């Protein structure tokens, strides 16, 4: 059945592997994926553990619906204490790895210790073997996967791997699978690198029994129709996530030249439609009908003729808007390099743009850059810095440390120009005109984040009646709601609701693009309850799924509090409050976040959670969610 997959405890120091079943009690409390990972991380680490030390654990998991008849259930979740922030480390990627891991018999891997020499894991139909990785250490993401498949003589093997950046402990190194499926945030690639674990290869042929297959198939047809008939999905299927750029940049909601401007005015050469000349079709993840990932060939430059996939919306920000570049080839090449090195696109783009502003201000000099001109708009400098950061060469060695450590090393008030929350850089969006989106990045558990609680549909100016229909179930809400995205009223509830929504889908293993992220009529708690029952037989009401999401969000909070998180960490850098936006449509211009109103939003957000004024869980909240006895060591 879909619930009989196991958890494996793998000690790389001793070579010992132990497998256990996952009890129904734990399923009903955390489902799977990110939910159980939060529990396992809290229960298998101690406060203050070194993120790059052997006592940190790396968790790899599949959501409870992954590999079933539910649509777009392909997500792999990876967790551990973050080498970048020191708080809850978590990342999520699509592709085909997680379904294959479930077909091989496992839902969760708990990886401890450190191997004496580079190794990789081979997982096949209930068996786990630790293998020598000497032939793949030092290889890029693509070559690593090809070598493993050739060695095994099976092209269907799925591989999750780190690249050279992970080996070099770049603190925002990715884990990767296939060409470009990226587990990009919080430095989980560095965590694997610290354990000398290069890759995990899986191949599975074990059946997953669907409890009610006829009903599951029929219901999934409805879900697919619901998704694919939406215009937002059709645009994704044509342009990928790049289509978002046209809407956000035209309004003035992107940060440019680090955080100096909020719109890229000379962007005709990098509009989404321009990518179609280099692309030749779309591809997608397991079980997805949208196919939002472009296949492309780099048209010119040093990497002319190279195949890759993407780029994503965030790639335009990282390699165009933030550093002030306007060349399509820079975006395509940058996207290719970070994929093969295994680095977080968002983080590296922000770090390079930050260094460019420091260079402009004279804080960094030609001596610091070894003669490299780091002026805004220097396309070649962006590509060169990607290489230097991955290999930790010169200034790249400092930038590889991430925002806070790099600013400490450079000094000279360089921190003033960082755009981060909790030590993780923000993506290229500018939230000064959008209080709801600003609250989301300030309070997210893993640092500045657009995938934890962002009410992106707030930008649609939806009628209040529609907003109330969405945000009043499965938990009743009678407070204020407004279709004005520059307003503060009701936004804290929207962020709280979306936080529960995104946690639920991360436990289930569903792609966020198939939820109320960009599509207001997309599936939510009601549909997930039915998908769970038809595919697994597990009967949970929409409200019970909400409670699971709430429990897991609060457990992530407990982990961060244990690591020293304070209310002051749920905040934005001063530029959000002190420097008004300069460009964009009239509604956007001259906007800052109001400090007093923002503080009130945080108070409301804490109250919805059942936290006190300092952001700590109240005793009654701990008891209500069954968290008062954690760590409980039930798994």
Let me know: does 590 contact 432? Beta carbons within 8 Å: no
Half-sphere exposure of 245 (CA within 13 A, CB side): 28
pLDDT of residue 278: 87
Residue 59 corresponds to which tokens in the numbers above?
């968790």
The yes-or-no verdict on residue 369 having pLDDT over 80 is yes
Model confidence pLDDT, tens digit, residues 335-362: 999 999 999 999 999 999 999 999 999 9
Q: How confident is the model at residue 276 (pLDDT cuts 50, 70, 90)?
A: confident
DSSP-derived 3-state class of residue 416: helix
Give me the phi and psi of 454, to 5 degrees please. Answer: -75, 120
**How far is C-alpha 81 from the geometric centre of its chain's CA atoms?**
15
Let me know: does 519 contact 462? Beta carbons within 8 Å: no
> Measured between alpha carbons, how far is 189 from 25 in angstroms, rounded to an integer?
32
DSSP-derived 3-state class of residue 631: coil
pLDDT of residue 1: 64
The yes-or-no verdict on residue 386 having pLDDT over 90 is yes
Mean pLDDT of 574-599: 98
DSSP-derived 3-state class of residue 135: coil
Q: Cβ of 326: how many Cβ atoms within 10 Å?
A: 16
Let me know: does 383 contact 338? Beta carbons within 8 Å: no
Mean pLDDT of 307-313: 94
**Helix or strand (DSSP H, E) at 6:** strand 6-11
The yes-or-no verdict on residue 543 having pLDDT over 70 is yes
Mean pLDDT of 259-279: 91
- When computed from its CA atoms, the radius of gyration of the chain, rounded to whole angstroms, is 23
Let me know: does 35 contact 510? Beta carbons within 8 Å: no
pLDDT of residue 372: 98
Q: What angle do CA 604, 610, 613 make, to 5 degrees?
A: 60
- Report whether CATH 1.10.599.10 matches the domain 435-624: yes
The yes-or-no verdict on residue 471 having pLDDT over 70 is yes
> Measured between alpha carbons, how far is 74 from 61 in angstroms, rounded to an integer?
11
Mean pLDDT of 155-162: 98
Mean pLDDT of 274-287: 90
Mean pLDDT of 296-313: 95
pLDDT of residue 254: 97
- Average pLDDT of the chain is 97
**Helix or strand (DSSP H, E) at 127:** strand 127-132
Indicate the angle between helix axes 491-508 and 34-44, nearest 10 degrees: 90
Q: CATH number of the domain at 244-425, out of 1.20.1730.10, 3.40.640.10, 1.10.569.10, 3.40.50.11540?
A: 1.10.569.10
Dihedral sign, CA of 293, 299, 302, 303? positive
Q: Which CATH architecture has domain 6-203?
A: 4-Layer Sandwich (3.60)
DSSP-derived 3-state class of residue 524: coil
The residue ranges of every structural domain in the chain are 6-203, 244-425, 435-624
Mean pLDDT of 112-135: 98
Q: How confident is the model at residue 277 (pLDDT cuts 50, 70, 90)?
A: confident
Residue 360 corresponds to which tokens in the numbers above?
């402009």
Q: How confident is the model at residue 2 (pLDDT cuts 50, 70, 90)?
A: confident
| Residues 6+ away with beta carbon under 8 Å from 366 | 372, 373
In this structure, the strands spanning 17-21 and 119-124 are unpaired
> Measured between alpha carbons, how far is 2 from 444 in angstroms, rounded to an integer?
31
DSSP-derived 3-state class of residue 282: strand
In this structure, the strands spanning 17-21 and 158-161 are unpaired
Let me know: does 409 contact 401? Beta carbons within 8 Å: yes
Model confidence pLDDT, tens digit, residues 13-27: 999 999 999 999 999
Let me know: does 283 contact 291? Beta carbons within 8 Å: yes
């Amino acid at each position: 059945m879909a619930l009989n997959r196991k958890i494996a405890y793998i000690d790389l120091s001793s070579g010992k592997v132990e497998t256990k079943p996952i009890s129904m009690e734990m399923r009903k409390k955390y489902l799977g994926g990110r939910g159980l990972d939060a529990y396992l991380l809290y229960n298998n680490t101690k406060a203050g553990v070194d993120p790059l030390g052997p006592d940190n654990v790396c968790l790899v998991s599949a959501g409870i619906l992954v590999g079933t008849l539910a649509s777009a259930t392909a997500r792999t979740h990876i967790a551990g204490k973050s080498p970048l922030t020191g708080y809850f480390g978590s990342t999520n990627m699509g592709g085909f790895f997680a379904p294959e891991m479930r077909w091989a018999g496992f839902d969760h891997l708990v990886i401890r210790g450190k191997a004496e020499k580079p190794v990789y894991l081979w997982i096949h139909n209930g068996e786990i073997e630790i293998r020598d990785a000497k032939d793949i250490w030092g290889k890029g993401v693509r070559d690593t996967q090809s070598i493993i498949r050739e060695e095994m003589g099976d092209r269907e093997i799925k591989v999750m791997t780190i690249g050279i950046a992970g080996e070099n402990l770049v603190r925002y190194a990715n884990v990767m699978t296939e060409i470009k499926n990226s587990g990009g945030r919080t430095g989980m690639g560095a965590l694997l690198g610290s354990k000398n674990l290069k890759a995990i290869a899986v191949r599975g042929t074990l059946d997953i029994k669907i409890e009610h297959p006829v009903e599951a198939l029929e219901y999934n047809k409805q879900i697919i129709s619901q998704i694919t008939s939406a215009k937002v999905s059709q645009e994704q299927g044509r342009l990928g996530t790049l289509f978002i750029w046209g809407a956000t940049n035209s309004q003035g909601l992107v940060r440019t030249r680090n955080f100096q401007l909020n719109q890229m005015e000379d962007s005709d050469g990098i509009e989404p439609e321009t990518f179609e000349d280099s692309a030749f079709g779309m591809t997608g993840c397991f079980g997805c009908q949208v196919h939002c990932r472009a296949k492309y060939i780099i048209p010119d430059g040093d990497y002319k003729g190279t195949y890759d996939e993407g780029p994503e919306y965030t790639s335009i920000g990282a390699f165009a808007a933030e550093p002030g570049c306007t060349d399509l080839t820079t975006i395509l090449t940058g996207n290719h390099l970070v994929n093969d090195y295994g680095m977080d696109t968002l983080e590296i783009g922000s770090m390079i743009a930050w260094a460019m502003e420091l260079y402009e201000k004279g804080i960094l000099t030609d001596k610091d850059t070894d003669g490299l001109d780091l002026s805004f708009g220097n396309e070649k400098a962006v590509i060169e810095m990607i290489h230097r950061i991955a290999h930790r060469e010169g200034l790249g060695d400092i930038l590889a440390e991430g925002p806070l450590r790099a600013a400490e090393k450079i000094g000279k008030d360089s921190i003033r120009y960082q755009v981060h929350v909790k030590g993780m850089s923000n993506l290229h969006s500018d939230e000064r005109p959008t209080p709801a989106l600003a609250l989301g990045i300030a309070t997210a558990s893993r640092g500045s984040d657009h995938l934890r609680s962002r009410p992106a549909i707030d930008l649609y100016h939806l009628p209040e009646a529609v907003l109330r229909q969405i945000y009043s179930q499965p938990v009743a809400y009678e407070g204020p709601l407004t279709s004005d995205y520059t307003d503060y009223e009701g936004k804290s509830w929207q962020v709280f609701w979306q936080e529960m929504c995104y946690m639920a889908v991360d436990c289930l293993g569903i792609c966020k693009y198939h939820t109320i992220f960009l599509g207001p009529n997309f599936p939510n708690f009601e549909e997930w309850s039915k998908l769970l029952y038809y595919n697994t037989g597990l009967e949970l009401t929409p409200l019970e799924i909400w409670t699971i999401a709430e429990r897991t969000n609060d457990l992530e909070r407990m982990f961060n509090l244990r690591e020293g998180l304070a209310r002051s960490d749920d905040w934005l850098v001063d530029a959000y409050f002190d420097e008004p936006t300069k460009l964009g449509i009239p509604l956007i211009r001259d906007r800052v976040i109001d400090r007093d109103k923002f503080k009130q939003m945080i108070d409301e957000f804490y109250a919805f959670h059942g936290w006190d004024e300092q952001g700590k869980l109240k005793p009654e909240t701990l008891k209500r969610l069954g968290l008062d006895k954690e760590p409980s060591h039930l798994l």
